[in-house]
Amino acid sequence: MLRIEFNLRTDSGVQPFVVDASQIWAQEGNDWRIVQTVRGDLAPRTARRLPEPAKPDTDLYPPAQEAPSEIKAALARAARDHKRVILVFGGNWCYDCHVLNATFHSKDIAPLVDANYHVVHVNIGDDYDKNLDLAAKYKVPLKRGVPALVVLDPNGSLLYTQQEGEFENSMRLSPADVTEFLNKWAPPRQN
């Protein structure tokens, strides 16, 4: 992952921007090859960035085959405590997935997540080749990037699925963006 932050002189003065690029490499025998290259577009740099983890959790995404049972368990918990379920499609190799996880556990945002959601990390594999059935079921266009979020009600009904790579680039999000999303999809308050 390469991120370049810089100031650009525009007609309205000097403005902060960011551009990023990433590559995924795979080993084949003794050789390495580039599996995927992604370059982001030039974008305004947000004043407040999401918190980055000091050290990414290399076990954040459990083995891919565990996703169906984890989703089922999260839906059962959500039915008991009247919460919703967020599925976060991604992988342990995805730095933006780790940034989003750090944000969900940050001092300001964790209470909102804990009060309203159960979060399940759905492993899509190193080559975007795992849990494709779940991505199709929940209408997740993985080609738009990860992390990709889905929100389910306690019955498993799809309330939201990310369509435009909204969370795939943590450099373009602020804590306020994440808070707004979580508030928008939180379950209605019980009387």
Considering the domain architecture, whether residues 55 and 11 belong to the same structural domain is answered as no
Residue 95 lies in a domain: yes
Alpha carbon distance 113, 11 (integer Å): 41
Considering the domain architecture, whether residues 80 and 37 belong to the same structural domain is answered as no
Considering the domain architecture, whether residues 95 and 35 belong to the same structural domain is answered as no
For residue 68, is pLDDT > 80? yes
Residue 18 lies in a domain: yes
Asked if 30 and 2 count as a contact pair (C-beta separation under 8 A), the reply is no
Residue whose tokens read 């499609």:
89
Coil, helix or strand for 103?
helix
Asked if 131 and 125 count as a contact pair (C-beta separation under 8 A), the reply is yes
Residue numbers of the domain that contains 55: 46-185
Considering the domain architecture, whether residues 31 and 61 belong to the same structural domain is answered as no
β 117-123/84-90 pair status: parallel
For the domain that residue 88 is a member of, what is the CATH number? Answer: 3.40.30.10
Considering the domain architecture, whether residues 166 and 126 belong to the same structural domain is answered as yes
Considering the domain architecture, whether residues 136 and 177 belong to the same structural domain is answered as yes
β 84-90/43-44 pair status: unpaired
Question: pLDDT for 105-155, tens place per residue?
Answer: 999 999 999 999 999 999 999 999 999 999 999 999 998 889 999 999 999
Considering the domain architecture, whether residues 35 and 107 belong to the same structural domain is answered as no
Residue 12 identity (one-letter amino acid): S
For residue 158, is pLDDT > 60? yes
Residue 150: is it exposed, middle or buried by C-beta count within 10 angstroms (0-12/13-18/19+)? buried
Task: Specify the number of domains making up the chain.
Answer: 2
Asked if 106 and 65 count as a contact pair (C-beta separation under 8 A), the reply is no
